[in-house]
Amino acid sequence: DSLNNTNWVFSTAFYYVGGWTAYSAELLVNANFETALGAEWIKTGAGSGVLQRYATLGDIAGPQNGANFVAHATTTDNSSGCYQDVNLSAYAGEIAAGNAQIRASGYLQASDHYYDDTRLRVIFYDSSSNAISASTYDSAWILSGPDTWTQYGVDNYPVPTNAVRARLWAQFSHPGLQAGAFDNASCKIRTKVVSDWDASGNWSLTSGGAPGAGIPASTNDVIFDSNSGDCSLDANAICQSISSVG
């Protein structure tokens, strides 16, 4: 069959990413480890006494950001870690209504030694200090290299409706050798607001992606999903189709 006389119309999907506040200011204290580890970062594990700040260490040439990073470097203890808890009480109403999302991450680097274990976890806790296991993020153990900083964590991640605090926890394990490093941690939160259809900054070409795609036209499919907030029809809504998923 010939396609020469066929008029093809390709539709571009527009995802609604409006309806959210900008992410909050940084909620972690000393997130880049530029000052000595104080009460804000809790050291854990048998090797907690050897978890220290460094500018360079062995095959880790330098920090991911700033002047320092935190690393496990020992020949006697085989595990360590550090975590910081973020109190979410300021967002209690939005969280209980299911209207809060979190962006929590950190950069990890494992050394070249065989069986180096490094991982990042994001854990939510309820008012009884029970971990909400169904919502826990775990990067899984990262084994031996490569010698590059890699970001792990969650973005636009729904905060459980019964969460009162969130924990960002880096863990290291190795039987007697340098296990890895942690740097440039971050934890921020955003909440739902009502936003306008007729605003180019509320639309993206991907789910949860960069805003600014423009305003949907008659040839565009419109999608509302888990990354969409509330939308106000401040103008005539024009699109080819509209769907709600997730």
Cα distances from 29 to residues 34, 151, 185, 216, in angstroms, run: 10, 19, 10, 41
Q: What is the number of other CB atoms lying within 10 angstroms of the CB of residue 238?
A: 14
Cα separation of the two ends of the chain: 39
Per-residue pLDDT of the chain (246 residues; tens, 9 = 90+): 445 555 555 678 999 988 888 899 999 999 999 998 888 999 888 766 678 888 988 778 889 999 999 988 765 667 788 999 999 999 999 999 999 999 999 999 886 655 567 899 999 999 999 999 999 999 998 876 667 899 999 999 999 999 999 999 999 887 556 668 899 999 999 998 888 899 888 999 999 888 889 999 999 999 999 888 888 887 788 999 999 986
Using CB atoms within 10 Å of the CB of residue 59, give its burial: 0 to 12 exposed, 13 to 18 middle, 19+ buried: middle
What are the backbone angles phi and psi of residue 92, rounded to the nearest 5°? -55, -45
Q: What angle do CA 13, 18, 19 make, to 5 degrees?
A: 140
Using CB atoms within 10 Å of the CB of residue 93, give its burial: 0 to 12 exposed, 13 to 18 middle, 19+ buried: exposed
Instruction: Report pTM.
Output: 0.81
User: Is the previous residue joined to 146 through a cis bond, with omega within 30 degrees of 0?
Assistant: yes
